[in-house]
């Protein structure tokens, strides 16, 4: 059966672009499908300070632009074509496009990423990347000597609050309940840290600021309805991530909490289907490990394609 491509990559963030670079350089018949501009979440990142090879850092837009330009050097085909569904279990994979029609291929790399959960309060969108962050591991060094707030009470929030204390002078942890959901060992470490102060039974109602960025956060106690405010220069919203899996056949794939489960070589539970980046089930989500996973996914896909029986 004739197929449109050997390999299709779904998603054009750092993972998808890296997979595309390796596939095009290997001279595979490949196309990358992206619903918007190449770059993914990194396009919304003000400054990237921890990606190797850029000692002075660079904007998220510039990093995405450089990654895209490198793929074009090897003539990677990038199509702005949202995918609405997939059939992956057969030897020939079929992808359904929003514009109508389908594309077929022998192998697929899923790199659709994830997005942070938002608190949806005034100021959150306005000050995104100007004091509102969704990744303390990424942005903590920008808050050296400052006062910040963390929203959340799970493992990620408490881990990252502790990480922030390496840089910030003070970290307020704002949690809607009177006890944390984080594991006991993380709780004990946070409670022992004199730079962390907990604000219990409280939800944020607004983030305030000016031209320079965030200057404060408005709060309400859920038990007393009493309102208050804190002067902070950063707000870290750490209430979990949602995988971009709406277009995936979840019933066909092995998943954990909506994220795709892979082995070390980035194979999913379906032969010929690989995954990389923020979409996969893992503990850490950084640009650098997304790039490494995508490299492995593409090499695994290349190996898979090379060992298919001749038609």
- Distant-in-sequence, close-in-space partners of 292: CB < 8 Å, separation ≥ 6: none
Assess whether pLDDT exceeds 90 at residue 309.
no
pLDDT for 43 equals: 84
Return d(Cα 5, Cα 13) in angstroms, integer: 20
Assess whether pLDDT exceeds 70 at residue 303.
yes
Active site residue 139: yes
Helix H or strand E encompassing 240: none
Lowest mean pLDDT among 10-19, 49-58, 256-265: 49-58
pLDDT for 156 equals: 87
Assess whether pLDDT exceeds 70 at residue 222.
yes
Q: State which fold the 118-237 domain adopts.
A: FAD/NAD(P)-binding domain (3.50.50)
pLDDT for 311 equals: 60
Residue 165 phi/psi, 5° resolution? -65, -10
- pLDDT tens, 230-245? 999 999 999 989 999 9
| Residue among 139, 178, 201, 310 flagged as catalytic | 139
Average pLDDT over residues 66-83: 96
Q: State which fold the 5-115+241-306 domain adopts.
A: FAD/NAD(P)-binding domain (3.50.50)
| Residue among 56, 91, 138, 169 flagged as catalytic | 138
Active site residue 135: yes
Would you say the CATH fold of 118-237 matches that of 5-115+241-306? yes
Average pLDDT over residues 50-62: 93
- pLDDT tens, 146-187? 999 999 999 889 999 999 999 999 999 999 999 999 999 999
**Would you report the helix, strand and coil content of the chain in percent, each value rounded to 5?**
25, 30, 45
pLDDT for 163 equals: 94
Assess whether pLDDT exceeds 70 at residue 22.
yes
| Residue among 105, 135, 278, 298 flagged as catalytic | 135
Assess whether pLDDT exceeds 80 at residue 1.
no
Domain ranges of the chain: 5-115+241-306, 118-237
Assess whether pLDDT exceeds 90 at residue 193.
yes
pLDDT for 64 equals: 95
């Amino acid at each position: 059966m004739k197929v449109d491509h050997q390999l299709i990559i779904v998603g054009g963030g750092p993972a998808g672009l890296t997979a595309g670079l390796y596939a095009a350089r290997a001279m595979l018949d490949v196309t990358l499908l992206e619903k918007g501009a190449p770059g993914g979440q990194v396009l919304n990142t003000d400054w990237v300070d921890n990606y190797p090879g850029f000692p002075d850092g660079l904007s998220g837009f510039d990093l995405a632009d450089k990654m895209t330009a490198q793929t074009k050097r090897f003539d990677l085909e990038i199509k702005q074509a949202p995918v609405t569904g997939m059939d992956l279990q057969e030897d020939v994979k079929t992808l359904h496009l929003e514009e109508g029609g389908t594309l077929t291929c022998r192998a697929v790399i899923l790199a659709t990423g994830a997005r942070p959960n938002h608190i949806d309060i005034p100021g959150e969108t306005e000050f995104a990347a100007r004091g509102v962050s969704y990744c303390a591991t990424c942005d903590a060094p920008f808050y050296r000597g400052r006062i910040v707030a963390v929203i959340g009470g799970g493992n990620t929030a408490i881990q990252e609050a502790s990480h922030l204390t390496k840089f910030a002078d003070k970290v307020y942890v704002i949690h809607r309940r009177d006890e944390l959901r984080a594991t006991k060992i993380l709780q004990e470490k946070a409670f022992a840290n004199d730079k962390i102060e907990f604000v219990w039974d409280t939800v944020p109602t607004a983030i305030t600021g000016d031209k320079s960025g965030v200057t404060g956060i408005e709060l309400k106690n859920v038990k007393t309805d009493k309102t208050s405010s804190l002067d902070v220069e950063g707000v870290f919203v750490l209430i979990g991530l949602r995988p971009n899996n709406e277009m995936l056949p979840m019933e066909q794939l092995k998943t954990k909490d909506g994220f795709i489960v892979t082995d070390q070589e980035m194979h999913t539970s379906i032969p010929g289907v690989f995954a990389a980046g923020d979409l996969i089930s893992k503990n850490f989500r950084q640009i650098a490990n997304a790039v490494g996973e995508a490299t492995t996914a593409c090499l695994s896909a290349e190996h898979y394609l090379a060992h298919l029986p001749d038609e």
